[in-house]
Structure 1
Amino acid sequence: MTNTDGLLIPEWDDLPDGIHAVTTTRLGGFSEAPYSSFNLAHHVGDDLPSVKRNRARLADLLELPAVPQWLSQVHGIQVMRFLEPEVATLQADASYTNKPGVPLAIMTADCLPVLIASKDGEELGAAHAGWRGLCDGVIEALTGHFRARPDELTVWLGPAIGPEAFEVGAEVRTAFMAVDPKAELCFVEQSNGKYLADIYGLVRQRLTRLGISSVSGGEYCTVTDKEHFFSYRRDGKTGRMATLIWR
């Protein structure tokens, strides 16, 4: 599943040459419980020097060309365009670049990280797709920044809460069905009146509607795989993984 450094390297169909992508796991860092050990988020209550060491280790492991474009994520659909390396942390839930040497980054601990690349390798995007952002259109907002046509895009779905663990209220199902009635297929009713939601299935539906057919990933569950992944749903106070893409 992971390489010797505890990193998850995507098995991604149609990924063009020269594009690098990775998701971190919770392994191999310096943070102590409950953030043990490779937490990359400043905002979760972890010891900040430990987070700094973890981010420095990430840059060294990946030989990043610049500091990652960290976002202050708010479960919205705002997209930041990065046309050169920046140092500020900006409020948004997706990012786009058409420049080399600009690493895009998304942090998650159950929400779905979505990476997008044009098949010619010229354009890249990353989105934080919790259910609210996904329902409201964060994927549509991000792909709207690409010059490439939908059939010229390829997508990888990173580790997220799996369909056997993501219990939601009826209002979540209703919200998705208001956008696309076919979303009903991604919800399984439970005896308590709630539903199990398949976030991987929901994002694949959105991508299909956009005309994007090259989609890889979507086989992990952050909740059930405690060894490798942080999970807010499982643990409450916990760290965050990072999913990055750059060229």
Structure 2
Amino acid sequence: MHFIVPQWPAPENVRAVQTVRTGGYSLPPWASFNLAGHVGDDPAHVAANRQLLAAQLPYPPCWLEQVHGTTVVDAAAAPSGSIADASFSHGPGSVCVVMTADCLPVLFCVRNGSAVAAAHAGWRGLQAGVLEQTLAALAVPPEDVLAWLGPAIGPENFEVGGEVRAAFMATDGEAQRAFRPGAPGKWWCDLYLLARQRLEKAGVRHIYGGEECTVADSARFFSYRRDGVTGRMASLIWLQPT
């Protein structure tokens, strides 16, 4: 199995990895390192992939049932499969994880190494405030937080309807910079820019990542927009004992 390691100045006790689609047991169209059990893949293959992943982690991951909402749970206390779109940890012993295949995964850490979090930010959750809710759960000044934007659908491939643009514009006129005209009634949307705008407005000054496109890179990434039936990748973060 293979990982992407975020390039950001995280504290020494913070560990974070991003899975890619290769190195697992799943067969097409979920080939091969699919970690989601809700996409039609053979459950035995998903279980084997999760076991491969777990062998690389110091603690069990806190898997979530993601619903494009804003609920944030404590990874140390939440049962596996909790309905939420983000989790946080204030100490060693748990792994925060979100799954994506075009939606934006955002990893957070506090600069002194006291807390971490992971959020699943599709456009609905992003617009509704999942990043702001995750920041609140960290319970530190936002200027002390680092954020990493993981692989997501890029601005050249994310065409949306006017209702998406209107939803973001209703709360922040600056969101217009993240949209450019597409086909009649459609707009090309820069999900990365929208996330940066939200984070900066919330007071986060240290933002990294945001250079990948899941649709464009079929060799490394699953993409629901590109393939329809496909697997899911995981973005994980945890604290090592100091």
Q: Smaller-chain TM-score range?
A: over 0.9
Partner of 1:56: 51
Equivalent position of 2:155 in the other structure: 163
- TM score, norm. by length of structure 1: 0.94
What CA distance in whole angstroms lies between the structure 2 residues aligned with 1:216 and 1:202? 14
TM-score normalized by structure 2?
0.96
Which consecutive unaligned segments of at least 5 residues does structure 2 have?
none
Give the C-alpha shift of residue 190 in structure 1: 1.4
Question: Contact 1:67 / 1:87 at 8 angstroms: preserved in 2?
Answer: no
| Code of the aligned partner of 1:10 | P
Paired AA for residue 26 in structure 2: S
Q: In structure 2, how many angstroms separate the alpha carbons of the residues matched to 1:28 and 1:82?
A: 26
Residue 56 of structure 1 and its aligned partner are, at CA, apart by 0.8
Identity %: 51
What do you get for the CA RMSD once the two structures are aligned?
1.0
Between the two proteins, the alignment pairs up a number of residues equal to 239
Question: Match of 1:145, SS?
Answer: helix
C-alpha contact (below 8 Å) 2:76/2:93 kept by paired residues: no
2:76 aligned partner: 83
Among 23, 26, 34, the residue aligned to 2:29:
34
Q: What is aligned with 2:6?
A: 10
1:224 maps to a residue whose letter is A
| Aligned counterparts of 2:182 and 2:225: Cα–Cα separation in 1 | 18
| Residues 83 and 6 (structure 1), Cα distance of their counterparts in 2 relative to 1, 3 Å cut | closer
Give the match for residue 61 of structure 2. Answer: 68
Spell out the pairing of 1:170-185 with structure 2 (5 A cutoff). 170-185=162-177
Give unpaired runs (5+ residues) of structure 1.
none
Distance between the aligned counterparts of 2:80 and 2:4, measured in 1? 26
CA distance in 2, matches of 1:197, 1:120: 34
Q: CA deviation at 1:7?
A: 1.1
Residues in 2 aligned to 1:87 and 1:206: alpha-carbon distance in whole angstroms: 29
